[in-house]
Amino acid sequence: MENKKQVAIIGAGVSGLLACKYCLSKGFKPMVFDFESDIGGVWSKSMKTTRLQVPHGLYHFSDFPWPDEVDVYPTQQQMLDYLHSYANKFDLMQHIRLNSKVKGISYDGPSSEAWELWNGTGETFPLDGKWNVSVDDTRNATTQVWIMNARIEIMSC
């Protein structure tokens, strides 16, 4: 049985993609939730005339260079293409749930003492609890609760 630490990541923009790749490289099992129908974060909703505010050499993933033919100040479409290429290169799409709006996250542990333990000492939650991640599917207005073991980290990107 696979016992990888689960990580819930909210948002499939630049930071969410990077967090997903990093978690995979460390042996974690990430799941990225994004309420949009595509990856890209703010770039997926920006105007077509929007460009990156700095030269592309100052804004890139350290392990994934821009293609040679990109503009010095990439367009919105070039940014989206770059993010898609990154996600495809590192096989991130299988870990991303699009059209998925996180409505709530709750800890279902053995008792309320778990919160006091975590809040008071900085210790992690006990391993016999679980997290319930409530997610609305924005296409059909259904809600699904993802139940994850207590070995979970939550990142909002």
pLDDT at 111: 60
Q: Is 118 left (phi over 0), alpha (psi -120 to 50) or beta?
A: alpha
How much is the pTM?
A: 0.83
The dihedrals phi and psi of 128, each to the nearest 5 degrees, come to -95, 15
1 pLDDT band, cuts 50/70/90, is very low
Residue ranges and CATH numbers for the domains of the chain are 6-156 (3.50.50.60)
80 pLDDT band, cuts 50/70/90, is very high
- pLDDT tens per residue across span 86-108: 999 999 999 999 999 999 988 77
pLDDT at 101: 96
- Report whether 50 contacts 76 (CB < 8 A): yes
